[in-house]
Chains A and B, each alone.
With several copies, the nearest count.
Chain A
Amino acid sequence: MTDARTTFSSPLDLQSVRADFPILSRELAGGFPLVYLDSANSSQKPRQVVQAIEDHYLKHNANVARAMHQLGAEATAAYEGGRDKVAAFIGAPSRDEIVFTKNASEALNLAAHTLGASLKPGDVVVVSEMEHHSNIVPWQLACERTGATLKWFGVTEDGRLDLSNIDELLTEQTKVVALTWVSNALGTINPISDIAAKAHAVGATVVVDASQAVPQFPVDVSTLGADLLAFTGHKVVGPTGIGVLWGRYDLLASLPPFLGGGEMIEIVRMTGSTYAAPPARFEAGTPPIAQAVGLGAAVDYLSGIGMDKIAAHEHAIVEYALEGLKTVPGLKILGPQDATDHGGAISFALDGVHPHDVSTVLDTRGIAVRAGHHCARPVHERFGMQSSTRASFYLYTTPEEIEALVDGLGFVRKYFKVD
């Protein structure tokens, strides 16, 4: 890979980025250094994020909103400060458009339940064959509850959304179009704005699963064309236990409540209750306070580095990885074969070795990749596969780690005697 390596160029100072992530200098079994190529599954956390969480718990911890003492005011300012930061990070016109959930899955369920409340038989919900299970199952359940019909975009041989029958899918009956922006299995980046425009033309609401998009490139919801958009904290160098649903304010204001409880109410009487305005309406119970603080620190961290630079780095790494993987005999890449509109995840199959075995052998050399269907079984079925191996990258991924992967795959082939 000497040729490719000379051409690798990234705007990031990788050494200084990596210094912020203590786990990246861990040594694994057998003395191998960690090569973490599973960031699409969950990203690592910089010291700054963990420190912010620790500070919060040890110095400012209290419940929010309802606690009126000094610690309560500090905790509330910290929690709502997280909301401000997230709003700014994705270009939301108002902080009140940011709803904190427990993860992207809850955000998508929130969308499916509240939009689902007005679905009826004859209505159509459109998803795609390349969705993560979290953007399929909630809509299947909503359709079961309401009698609406679930339809989906197919996927082309080269791993793009098949838009050839878009006019059949988007009709007056179509009430919701829920699509992933970046596929977690194929890496495909979908043309959300174009599809959203067509969906809006037939009066449908557009829900975007941005779980793999927000971590990777600058996002501006004010121009995207989505009506609701979901992502998850743990994939943007933030904590587990928090996700985000962004929504156009007037849409959010028109939706019924989802979970009931403290904080989301206006007046509770035994005989019936009224509900608060968004975002509180959708945040029942004590919210993920320390997690919002951590997520705020996470988006600050990413902004400090620059999302445009992170995007450029991801692009360079993906290009480098695609090139490297193509040198491995018997390796088949799922989805787009070049780096155009390709997010930071590449799934592949290696002739004669099952993906779990690939991943276990790589793991004994310190290389962490994911094997399985990556919560996207339908798109694997589409390609006639039960599972695949996935390598995924982030701002701290180095070209040397890509080389370790490629070398490791050579070792896998030798070990299983397929070369």
Chain B
Amino acid sequence: MQLDNLYQEIILDHYRSPHHAGLADPYDVEVHHVNPSCGDEVTLRVELDGDTVKGVTHSSVGCSISQAATSVMSDLVIGKPVSEGMATYEKFLELMQGRGNVEPDEEVLEDGVAFAGVAQFPARVKCALLGWSAWRDATAQALAANEGVKNA
């Protein structure tokens, strides 16, 4: 329960000036996700270019952890193939559920390694995952829509 493990400087930096904040046009899909137990909310837009994540923007109300995690997530997925973003999510999820026993992979997670300490605060894990769940949902919807267009 070391506070400084949780609130790494990187996290506080992202919290104070989140990357890709502010909803931008154009976009393919917008979703609104909520953490019902605490009330944190995020609105998130995704634009795909084929199977590549062209853009992610977001607007949210929430704590430092949820806001910073959404910011870091955006950095990690923008410009990458969807499949790579999803793989990064799996790595991040593994880290979050590891209760502090998982060694984070800095190659893959970049600034995301700063969230390693969150795993020791089970109540805050949901905060760190909110943005990711929004991105995964929006991306899945966008892929399905493209699929529809292709098949039409």
Contact = CB atoms under 8 A, between A and B. Distances in A.
A–B in direct contact per CB < 8 Å: yes
Interface of A: 29-30, 65-70, 72-73, 76-77, 263, 265-267, 276, 280, 354-357, 360-361, 363-364, 371-373, 377, 380, 386-387, 415
Given A30-B1, A354-B64, A387 B38 contact: yes
Contacts of A76: 122-123
Given A68-B124, A73-B122, A360-B6, A354 B1 contact: no
Interface string B116-131: 0000011110010000
Contact of B61 (A68, A357, A361, A386): A386
Contact of A360 (B37, B66, B124): B124
B76 interface: no
A263 B39 CA distance: 11
Interface in B15-65: 34, 36-41, 61-65
Contacts of A70: 1
B3 interface: yes
A355 B63 contact: yes
Interface of B: 1-3, 6-7, 34, 36-41, 61-66, 121-124, 127
Given A76-B123, A373-B39, 6 more contacts: A77-B122, A356-B40, A360-B3, A364-B1, A371-B63, A372-B37
Contact of A356 (B2, B3, B36, B127): B127
A372 B64 CA distance: 14
Contacts of A30: 1
Which 8 pairs show the lowest CB-CB distances between chains A and B? A356-B63, A68-B123, A29-B1, A372-B38, A354-B63, A373-B39, A386-B61, A65-B37
A280 B36 contact: yes
B122 A356 contact: no
22 contacts: A29-B1, A65-B37, A67-B123, A68-B123, A69-B123, A73-B123, A263-B37, A265-B36, A266-B36, A267-B41, A354-B62, A354-B63, A356-B38, A356-B127, A360-B3, A361-B3, A363-B1, A371-B38, A380-B39, A386-B40, A386-B61, A387-B38
